[in-house]
Chains A and B, each alone.
Chain A
Amino acid sequence: MASSSVPKGTPNFPEYQTEEGRLKIFGFWVFLAAEVVLFSTLFATYLVLADRTAGGPTGKELFEVKDFMIETMLLLTSSFTCGLAVLEMRKGNKKGVFIWMIATLAMGLGFLGMEISEFVAYVHEGATLQTSAFLSGFFVLVGTHGAHVTLGVVWISLVLTQVAKRGLTPMTCRKLFIGGLYWHFLDVVWIFIFTAVYLTGLI
C-alpha cells in the first residue's frame, strides 16, 4: 500500500505527510475501484447493445476518425502534463504546478468542446438517445465519461484557487494529488472507450 510504504514526513511526498492525507488518498483509491465497476457496467451494457441499431445509424456511419483521434491525443497529453504538475508539486514549485495544471485543464476543455460538438453533430444527423438501443448505450457511456471530465475540470480549478491562496501545504498537495489521480483514471477509461467504442465501431 502506497501510504504505509512512505515513511512519515518524507519531504518529497507532501501529500502523504499527515495521517489524514494518507487515509484520504487510500480512500480515494478505493473509490476509484467502485468507479471501475461503474464504468464496467456501462461498457458491458454498451457492448451488448452495440449492434442493436434498430435501422438507425451505425457507429461506422457516425464516427469520424480524425475527430476521435484528436480527442484521444488531447486527453493523453493532458494526463502527461498532469503528471508533470504533480512532480512540480513535490518539488514545491508552485509556479510549475500552475503552468502544467492550467495546460491540463485547457486540454480537458478542448476535449470537452470537441465531444460536445461531436454529440451535436450526431443529433443533427438524426442520431439521438431515442433513436436506438445502440445510441442510448453510446450516449450514456461516453456522456458519463464526459460528465466526469467536466467535474474534474471544475474540481481541479477550485483546488488551484485554494493553492493560490494557501500555497503548497500538505493539505492542498493532497487535494492536488487526488485530483491528479482522478484525471489519470479518466484517461484510462477513455482508452477503453477509444478501443471498445470507436475503433471497434469502425469495423
Chain B
Amino acid sequence: MAEDAHYMSVRRMSDALRARELSAVELADVHLRRIDAVDGSLGAYLARTPELAREQAAAADAVLAKGDGGPLMGVPMQLKDNMATRGVATTCASRMLETYVPPYDAAVTGALGQAGAVLLGKGNMDEYAMGSSSETSAFKPVHNPWDLERVPGGSSGGPAAAVAAGLAPYALGSDTGGSIRQPAALCGVVGLKPTYGLVSRYGLIAFASSLDQIGPLTRTVEDAALVLNAIAGHDARDSTSIEAPVADYTRGLEDGVRGLRVGVVSELFGEGIDPEVARVTREAIVQLETLGAIVDWDVSLPTSRAALAVYYVLAPSECSANLARYDGVKYGYADQGERSLMAALEATRRDGFGAEVKRRILMGTYALSAGYYDAYYKKAQQVRTLIRREFDEAFERLDVLVTPTSPTVAFKLGEIVDPIVMHANDVCTVPANVAGLPGISVPCGFVEALPVGMQLIGPHLSEATLLRTAHAYEQATGWHDVHPAL
C-alpha cells in the first residue's frame, strides 16, 4: 500500500494512522521521499523540513499510540511560505526575506501544530503572493503537475502543485484575489477561501489586509472540511477575526443539494472566458441540477464586473503600506553599498523586490497620494460597498452562485507577459474577496487534459453549504480520483 499512500485522502491517512496500518513517521517519509523524487521538476517547495517533520511525526505517533489525537494527528502538510513558522525560514518567495526566520508561529501554524500536523516544508508562491502564475517567485517558478511546461496558477502555486502531485495531502494557501481557488482549479484540486475573518490572519505576511484570507487546498472536499475545522475560529490576536461559534464542517456534508438554489453568474460565462472552460463548467452545473439543485441559469451581477478594478486599487494601496516595513534595517535583505540612510533604503527595495511587487507598490502609492485618494481609493471603497450589496441581494433568493474559477486552463510559463492580461486571470475570483465572501473551487473536468475548476460562492459564513454542494458534486463525478502522471 505504501506505493500510493501519497494519494490517500487526509481522512484515509488519518484512519490508517489510527489503525496503525502505518506510522506517522512512515507517512512523513513516504512524502519526503516523493518530494525528493518529484519536486525537482515541480518546484512546489521552498524550504523542506525533513527533520522537523520526523520529529513532529514521532510525537504524533506517541499520541496515536495512546489512542488520542484528532483527524489531523500525524498527517503531513505544507504551508505556503507567507505563513510564519518559528525557526523555519519564511520568505514569501522574495529575495527581501530570503534570510528571514520568524521568532513566532502564525495562528494557523500553531493551530495545526496543536492538531498534530507534520510540516513537510514551505510552499513556493508568487513573490509576496502577488501573481496568478507562481512565476514571480524570486527563487524558482512552480510547474503544473499536469503539464510541466505550464504554470500551476498562483499565487498559491506551490501548495496547489504539491497537493495535486501527492507531495502533501493538504496545504494551506492564502487567497487575496483568487490565490487559493485559481491554482486549485489549474491543478485539479479543491481550494477553499473562507469568509473573511473566519481564519486568523495572525502570522500571515500581509499582502492586502482587507482581502487576505487563509484556507485549505486538498484533494477531496471532505479533507477541506477537516482542515477548516482545525484552523477556523476567533483569535484575539486578529481584530478582524469573526467572533462566531466554531462549527464542525464535516457535519451535514452528505446532506446533498436537493432544493439548493443555485445561480449561474451570466457575466462570467461570456466575454473573456474560454468557451471550453465555460462549457465544462456548465456541464458541471447540469450535474448539480441532476442532483436536485434548482438552477437559475441567468443571474446578472453587473456591479461585480467592477470588482477587478476595485481590487487593483485596494490591494496595491494596502500592499504599498504593508510592504513599507522592508527597509533593510531590521531583518531580511539589506543593501550594503550605500552610505546614506535613504540611499540604502532605496537600494534595498530596488534590489530586494521583484518587478511585480514594485509595480503594485507603485500603483498603491499613487492611488493613495494627495489629490488622487478620492478618485481611486475612496471611489474603490464605495464600489466595494455596492458589490457587497449586490451579493447580499442575490443571496436573498439564492444559496450558491456558480462561476468558472479561472477564465482559462493553465497557460504556459512565460506565455503571459502583459501584466494587465495576467491581472485579468482573477476576474472570476476577485468578487468574493472584495465582498469578503467564502468561495470554493472544485475540480469539474478537463479541457485538453488540463483541469478545470468550478467556483461556488456563498453568503457570509456559508462554508458548510459550499462544502456540502462541492462534496455532492465531487462524489457524483469522481474527478478527485484522477491524478497527474508524474
Whether both chains belong to one complex is answered with: no
B residues near A, CB below 8 A?
Answer: none
